[in-house]
Structure 1
């Protein structure tokens, strides 16, 4: 079982963004590979801290984590680090700025700073919407989608940028009243990549990229909800250069409305209409569930508005807390067009003792039923 992100950083769930950043910086400096050469346990702790910070420092990801836990980032290689798509270089390239001068004024040796100061350019993300039926949400599903993304063209080559000598930064010296001040900024020629295009194949754009259609497999866990966003690492647009990273594919979940079932969290609702005779005499009825048809029994004398609860026949919780229930709302259909014989029968029954409303203490009011439904 994965360790809690708040526990990893040693903070509370009410920690402010500044406190989260401070806790991560402290952990990362403690377990940094430069301070713990060859120490696999320290490297693992370093990665855990980065994974925790990657989620908790993002307002949207933090909200999803607080609601669903680690399950919010399962499937589709989702959740940033959770999918195993990031390595030490990824961590340094994304979070190197947090450490400032903790390691000699410039980051992390050959990964994101040090003497070279080069950052790894990352391609742009792509976003798609995937529609799921309730049946697919109930069981989890693997979807294959076609994505048009930018990739490096075959035969493209890059060379070191002459403007920054491959560092990705240019130094400027300014004369001030305090003396000569030196500052660094992103190289305007290579945009921080440290490389520029050398040979551009036919059909490629100015960055040596071309658009290709690719089939991407997305594993979607059971219990997802409308609007949940999953991430497939490295399936977005490529970026130019030999040292660049591909962007990510963001997958937004959209629910397809079911013809008879209505969703409420993990619970499902079904409106069952029965005729007057079935309500009086009882009946057996087939109803829809996400796992197929099931037969339920309607007891004789069932009142309109009665709610039958089928436990565990709802949707699974994304955080693995079990399944919700299926609530069957029984509605007695009152006939509107009667024959002469039928009207005569009901006229005779109008004052019959068995036809007079006589609710017992077990017959709940509408408001009691609503209260029970939500509790």
Structure 2
């Protein structure tokens, strides 16, 4: 991973600073009040009900996960993959969790799918639902923990290590094998909708850029090559474009970009001089994305919608704590994200019914 404080960050650049995310650092905004009912479930603002309803918390510390984040749906939406700290440990491992038809966690279905012996991040399902990919340092077990962070002022700085490689495996974690084996950092990986390609971030040329390779690891091709970090890429639903985040100004303020899958036609989507915009993810129609922004302060990240054609934005979450890393289900009816809105304030995974507003 890169310099950042994320529980599951799709890995920011070697000097990207993101304030107080995922660490349970008591950064609640004074503008809102977080309350919990007698069951311990978080209560959210009425303002969220325009887009979100029927919230359910999918992961909890009592499942043996000190914190969890960056979750993605399986193609049939009955399973998720995510990373989490096992209780008492300090290296993220990859997990899957089954969902029932209502989008609630199936009791007893939590499964670690990474081999251990190294830190893991950035999991994703193969579009057939039969396989997974993720990044891991298990080939370099003595590598310094890529989840190390330290504080500089009001920000937490995330270290992006070498020795991270992309692995493919069966959904149950068996048969893990490396798709990359470079000395540097290969991570932040996602399949194309047809399952034939993988887009990822690598610093193999000395700068974190975007690459595309065949699903078997062959045919690696660089698609961005400008100074500064490029990462967190995802193919559009039609496979023709890639959404990503970048620090092109090298000022620790990530912005959103879109580029054709062949590396042409790059376009900047956000340009807020003092705002971090990151973690974009496509809606199924390919017109809009959800993303995470520090627009309301670097101690209170929120989820927003962005229409990439008109530039229109709309706020989705209103929690006083961290809300980010949003993803939308393939049918467009559910949103899953990482949040600290739970009663214990730890970073955990939440899911809600999603209503796409007019204009997005």
Select the structure that is richer in helix.
Answer: 1
Instruction: Between the two structures, name the one with larger relative contact order (CA 8 Å, sep ≥ 6).
Output: 2
Global fold match (TM > 0.5): no
User: Please, what TM-score do these two structures have when normalized by structure 2?
Assistant: 0.22
> Where is the strand percentage greater, Structure 1 or Structure 2?
2
